[in-house]
Amino acid sequence: MRLALLLVADIDTLHTSARGVVCPEVWDLLDEAKRRAQGEEEEVAFDLPVTSSGFLIRPHGWRGYAYWLNSPDFELMLGRSEKFPAVVCQLHAAYLHSVGVGWALEFVELVAAA
């Protein structure tokens, strides 16, 4: 209960990251989608198999991450550098409040494992 009160009062996002190896097939899909976004000079739709709602992939990355996907629920950044986690996720406050922190983190784990 205290965490819920804290979220209402102060937290508008929650960042999480995961180290590991991203499947080569995912890199191929991301490369293709990012090239489309760069060609159109705007975000384009991108679906991950595990999600029921799609993402938009931006034509540029975020900091050291080559791929930046966003949705109304969270931002997902993926990169190939061994110096940083392969996946960084920024969960939005509205999503955290609607599904709860526990479910939100479980869902991010599902997405990262896909």
Which residues constitute the domain of residue 36?
2-113
The first and second tokens of residue 93, run together, are: 């406050």
Structural domains of the chain, count? 1
The pTM (predicted TM-score) of the whole model is 0.80
The first and second tokens of residue 56, run together, are: 């938009």
Task: Using DSSP bridges, classify how beta strands 55-57 and 44-46 pair: parallel, antiparallel or unpaired.
Answer: antiparallel
Please, are residues 57 and 33 in contact by the beta-carbon 8 Å criterion?
yes
Residues 12 and 7: their CA atoms lie apart, in Å, by 7
What is the predicted pLDDT for the residue at 10?
55
What is the predicted pLDDT for the residue at 1?
38
Residues 102 and 80: their CA atoms lie apart, in Å, by 28
Residues 75 and 88: their CA atoms lie apart, in Å, by 8
**Residue 73 gets which letter from DSSP?**
S
Please, are residues 70 and 43 in contact by the beta-carbon 8 Å criterion?
yes
The first and second tokens of residue 53, run together, are: 């709602």
Mean pLDDT throughout 61-74? 91
What is the predicted pLDDT for the residue at 66?
95
Q: In 3D, which of 82, 73, 62 has the Cα closest to residue 21?
A: 82
Per-residue model confidence as pLDDT tens digits over 10-23: 567 788 888 888 88
Judged against a pLDDT cut of 60, whether residue 83 lies above it is answered with: yes
